[in-house]
Structure 1
Amino acid sequence: MLSSKGLTVVDVYQGWCGPCKPVVSLFQKMRIEVGLDLLHFALAEADRLDVLEKYRGKCKPTFLFYAIKDEALSDEDECVSHGKNNGEDEDMVSSERTRTLAIIKPDAVAHGKTDEIIMKIQEAGFEILTNEERTMTEAEVRLFYQHKAGEDAFEKLVHHMCSGPSHLLILTRTEGFEDVVTTWRTVMGPRDPNVARREQPESLRAQYGTEMPFNAVHGSRDREDADRELALLFPSLKFSDKDTEAPQGGEAEATAGPTEALCFPEDVD
């Protein structure tokens, strides 16, 4: 990750440190404003990494800044930089296909429909690269749906998405050449479950949704939004595929500055 072109900000925190945690939301907002390809943000827990031992025992966030010059890395340097990753400080999702975000929402999870929906996703030809069950925080949901903040239904949406665990999935296609984002939106069906039952009765929202915003599943609007939503909900994942621009950088040198970027879909899924 430190070899990525642009600015990388590493938030060194400790699990027991309360003030460290709110900083994450602040940096996520900053990423929206700066730009995804120029600013990168990572979390590193001091108590889990020996190299960060000198930052332990301090009840305050610590930030490390790295900037990559424009000179391209040699193939050998790039291989070495990736080879040093031991899997503890960074997860990797590797695929030569495009991917999208899918969320099985709290209403479907609460009704015990998760396994059925996952089975239908796989039957539709998707491969599930990641499946994480967790309850989204209020700050996370407000940031995710911030484009809807002025609407009457916004608070209801926020309350719903924080009401219980969701399943956050990263999907890709296992067969065919269809765009994974478009195909997933087709499988989900129209946003309103009542409309879905009329127009696309075999869709997931027709089968498992009840009414807005309880429409069972979420999907990114397009490929750009998929990349940005994935960056928000899976900030520690590094995606590696031929569709991702290769690092264009030289040595990492310390610097100071702002942070990486996200935007979000205009419609509520």
Structure 2
Amino acid sequence: MGSKKKEIALQVNISTQELWEETLSSKGLTVVDVYQGWCGPCKPVVSLFQKVRIEVGPDLLHFALAEADCLDVLEKYRGKCEPTFLFYAIKDEALSEDEERSSHGKDGGPDADVASSEKTCTLAIIKPDAVGHGKTDEIIVKIQEAGFDIVTSEERTMTEAEMRLFYQHRAGEEAFEKLVHHMCSGPSCLLILTRTEDTEDVAAAWRALMGPSDPHVARREQPDSLRAQYGSEAPFNAVHGSRDAEAARRELALLFPGFTSAEHAPEASPELEEGVVPPSPEDVH
């Protein structure tokens, strides 16, 4: 009679410092849902975690729960009733740079050609509507003319699971499903941007170049902005940009987990990267 397979929990419940360190030592990306005992973990995203884990595989993607009151390392998250997710990425150092590029293939995954940058960076996405209309090259030229340096770029079609996690802070909005569907409807061009000068304000500078999220407002208030020139209506507004440095940290950790920069450098150890997912009251997507 065959042995019964052991059921593997989707999320590890971290209750001690020892288990915290053990969990974060896992190779790949670990997503920690930090919660308050009186508030509870963010249960609505459990099904999303399951979808992401199935698509990516269990070896390099791990999910965990951690109650802020139980761990000193999470003291700064106590007393808050808001969704908070921490991202920790550890690269497998057994692979040399050449071996890693080879394992991804010539046109491999998100980090195939991404090394690092010593400057502060932000995420930019040329959305499927603009890519589909053949405007990618035009927009990239305008980005470079505006004084931005492109650290890396990649064209790919995002998955529904990625976009639901990416926009999870907007899950309660009426336009959420439409936004997710649009972002998965075709290829996007993902860019990591920095600037030769004023690198500390790179996120704000990119937002200024994009213009207001509503293309109609952009055409009225900032006719030279990218959304005024290439957008039609929300969410078909041509480009996305991180709200600020904290949002850039989270978004880059999700879409480019192997990328490191001055702003996105590890804090706890040379191998560790952390990103926080705060709710966003502002729509700059």
Contact 1:96 1:243 in 2 (8 A): no
- The runs of at least 4 consecutive aligned structure 1 residues that moved more than 6 Å come to 28-32
The answer on 1:88 being equivalent to 2:99 is yes
1:108-153 C-alpha deviation (Å, 9 max, x unpaired): 0001100000000000000000101000000000000111112211
Give unmatched runs, 5+ long, in structure 1: 1-5, 13-17, 52-83, 251-258
Q: 2:254, 2:157 → 1: CA distance?
A: 15
Mapping of residues 223-262 of structure 1, within 5 Å: 223-235=245-257, 237-241=258-262, 244-245=265-266, 248=269, 261-262=275-276
| Corresponding residue to 2:62 among 2, 23, 27 | 27
Corresponding residue number in structure 1 for 2:125: 103
1:127-183 C-alpha deviation (Å, 9 max, x unpaired): 000101000000000000111112211111111000000001000002345610000
Secondary structure, in 3 states, of the residue corresponding to 2:190? strand
Q: 2:207, 2:246 → 1: CA distance?
A: 14
Contact 1:135 1:164 in 2 (8 A): yes
The answer on 1:162 being equivalent to 2:184 is yes
Corresponding residue number in structure 1 for 2:175: 153
Q: 1:145, 1:227 → 2: CA distance?
A: 14
Corresponding residue number in structure 1 for 2:196: 174
The answer on 1:119 being equivalent to 2:141 is yes
Corresponding residue number in structure 1 for 2:151: 129
Contact 1:192 1:211 in 2 (8 A): yes
User: Percent sequence identity over matched residues?
Assistant: 60
Q: TM-score, normalised by structure 1?
A: 0.67
Contact 2:121 2:263 in 1 (8 A): no
Structure 1 residue 40: Cα displacement = 2.7
The answer on 1:143 being equivalent to 2:165 is yes
Give the root-mean-square deviation of aligned CA atoms.
Answer: 3.5
Corresponding residue number in structure 2 for 1:8: 25
Structure 1 residue 94: Cα displacement = 2.7
The answer on 1:189 being equivalent to 2:206 is no
The amino acid that maps onto 2:122 is T
The amino acid that maps onto 1:171 is L
Q: 2:149, 2:156 → 1: CA distance?
A: 20
1:198-250 C-alpha deviation (Å, 9 max, x unpaired): 00000000000000100000000010110110000012x23143873566479
Q: TM-score, normalised by structure 2?
A: 0.64
Secondary structure, in 3 states, of the residue corresponding to 1:88? helix
Q: 2:138, 2:197 → 1: CA distance?
A: 21
The amino acid that maps onto 2:124 is A
Q: 2:142, 2:208 → 1: CA distance?
A: 13
How many residue pairs were aligned?
Answer: 212
